[in-house]
Amino acid sequence: MPITVTPINSVDDFTNDVRLRTAALINEHVLPREAELWPQRQGVALSDEIRAAAQAGREDIKQKVKQAGLWAPHLPQEYGGMGLDFLPHAYMNEILAYAVGAASMFGVVAPNSGNQKILAKYGTEEQKQKWLLPLIEGTMESGFSMTEPENAGSDPRSLKTTARREGNEWVINGHKWFTSNGIEADFFIVMCRADDPTGAEGRSGSMVQIIVPTDTPGVDIVRGIGIWGSPTSDHCEVIYDNVRVPVDNALGRVGQGHEAAQDRLGAGRIYHCMNSVGQMWRAFDLMVERALTREVHGGLLKDKQFIQGFIADSYIDLQTSRMMTIKAAEKVDAGDPEARTDISALKIYVPAAYSRVVDRAIQVWGAAGVSNDLPLGRMYLGARTLRLADGPDEVHKILIAKNVVRHYEKGIGSWDFAH
Ligand SMILES: Cc1cc2nc3c(=O)[nH]c(=O)nc-3n(C[C@H](O)[C@H](O)[C@H](O)COP(=O)(O)OP(=O)(O)OC[C@H]3O[C@@H](n4cnc5c(N)ncnc54)[C@H](O)[C@@H]3O)c2cc1C
């Protein structure tokens, strides 16, 4: 079923135009060809021929996207992107996420897209030439290496990987895991604790992100970690053993590492939640579509009250998720500092709502729901993962409560829910 997209009264003409043109491409060129574009997701064994056909199909769509001027919404125009402001980008994401893998054919592929944004913002001219441009051109791949097996990812201050300054080099030692895209990556952006006696921070251990080519001696990609029953994945365990890179590979200044990571994660959560909204939308459409046609016990599923309950509850989950996300996006766009509280709230709410909607859609489809013929199985696992990635629920709950309590302690009145 194609996604239905019509102009939204409350948004500007430009954003509506981007949404409508994105939907036209998705409906005409991506949705009807999903199985051909992503055969491996349907469990098809990849022969050279099938792989080449799928790749050619994806390239064909990329060219159409570029011709339509919809390539790389997250990148500034000077780097070949659309240079979209925050809100239009958020509104575009829900449509991109509706179709399997569509974002990648619009030039947005995590973790490369996050690294591109960080390099564009914090990179020196030399770093941009060396790392950003090849990443954009697709001649290089990258990963973001922050989480460590021995330390809590939800408490970034506990990170132990060190970067010791020795002359004109950083010497990096540490143990990371879940560095996504680690198998393909040509370089990682590694979050380290700096030990830089020459810097303004002295030896106080401020955080710094360092660009590390994956072929540097001492970088050991131990394994692709198996997840959800698969024997392997591209989320890698990596040991950094006395890895030496030039001091110029630091991204931004020492002490700016957390800020750069928050740049990636903070507003990024809104984009991710709009992705979840788009995927929920797809799951919802699939559920209703099936309910309209599947006959059980002498009647269609749509006429059974259990199923009507699924449809109604999913409608509510989708509407609330979307409204929360857009409200937070408007606050971010307006520079409202309270947006942080809303971002945490939606980071908890939306992945959970997404899980519920997909869960119901799977139930309605029965065995087909868990088969590779439909995208629901992958969505289900993705939705569950979102509840712990990007800051687990508990961390965001603590943040919401802290912000609210601080507000009331100041004695400035009740929380203003209208804004
Ligand atoms: C598929 C996938 C891809 C990923 N990709 C990347 C990547 O590319 N790069 C990267 O660096 N990382 C990546 N990660 C790692 C991810 O960011 C971390 O898993 C996440 O930050 C949580 O850290 P942790 O796993 O160490 O859990 P922990 O920090 O150990 O937390 C475990 C649990 O403890 C609970 N908890 C935490 N704090 C509190 C508290 N204060 N009070 C009560 N309970 C609490 C929560 O329930 C939490 O889920 C990825 C993870 C997954 C699953």
Residue 166 CA, chain-centre distance (Å), reads 35
Ligand 1 atom nearest to 388, measured from its CA: 49
Instruction: State the amino acid at position 104 in one-letter form.
Output: S
Rg (CA), the chain: 23
How many angstroms separate the CA atoms of 317 and 356, rounded? 8
For residue 41, the model assigns a pLDDT of 85
Sequence-ordered alpha helix ranges (H) in 32-72: 34-37, 48-67
Is 276 touching ligand 1 by the criterion CB < 6 Å? no
283 and 383 in a common domain: yes
Say what angle helices 268-293 and 339-365 make with each other, to 10 degrees: 20
- C-alpha 143 to ligand 1 mean position (Å): 17
For residue 328, the model assigns a pLDDT of 93
Structure tokens at 237: 């365990």
pTM of the model: 0.93
Is 73 touching ligand 1 by the criterion CB < 6 Å? no
Residue 418 φ then ψ, to 5°: -80, -10
The residue count of the chain comes to 419
146 and 57 in a common domain: no
- C-alpha 151 to ligand 1 mean position (Å): 10
- Residue located via tokens 């947005």: 108
Ligand 1 atom nearest to 110, measured from its CA: 8
Is 225 touching ligand 1 by the criterion CB < 6 Å? no
How many structural domains is the chain composed of?
3
Cis previous bond, 217, omega within 30: no
Ligand 1 atom nearest to 176, measured from its CA: 11
Is 180 touching ligand 1 by the criterion CB < 6 Å? yes
148 and 92 in a common domain: no
For residue 254, the model assigns a pLDDT of 84
Say if CB 182 and CB 234 are below 8 A apart: yes
Residue 393 φ then ψ, to 5°: -45, -45
276 and 196 in a common domain: no
271 and 249 in a common domain: no
In a domain? residue 223: yes
How many angstroms separate the CA atoms of 91 and 15, rounded? 7
Domain boundary among the residues 255, 276, 297 is at: 255
Is 147 touching ligand 1 by the criterion CB < 6 Å? yes
For residue 43, the model assigns a pLDDT of 81
Is 398 touching ligand 1 by the criterion CB < 6 Å? yes
- The candidate with the shortest Cα–Cα distance to 391, out of 341, 356, 353, 348, is 348
171 and 56 in a common domain: no
Taking only the tens of pLDDT, the chain with its 419 residues reads 999 999 999 999 999 999 999 999 999 999 999 999 999 888 888 899 999 999 999 999 999 999 999 999 999 999 999 999 889 999 999 999 999 999 999 999 889 999 998 999 999 999 999 999 999 988 999 999 999 999 999 988 889 999 999 999 999 999 999 999 999 999 999 999 998 666 665 545 689 999 999 999 999 999 999 999 999 999 999 999 999 999 999 998 888 777 777 766 667 899 999 999 999 999 999 999 999 999 999 999 999 999 999 999 999 999 999 999 999 999 988 989 889 999 999 999 999 999 999 999 999 999 999 999 999 999 999 999 999 988 899 999 999 999 999 999 999 999 999 88
Is 345 touching ligand 1 by the criterion CB < 6 Å? no
What CATH number has the domain bearing residue 53? 1.10.540.10
308 and 332 in a common domain: yes
Residue 226 φ then ψ, to 5°: -70, 135
In a domain? residue 417: no
Question: Which structural domain range is residue 67 located in?
Answer: 13-108
Is 174 touching ligand 1 by the criterion CB < 6 Å? no
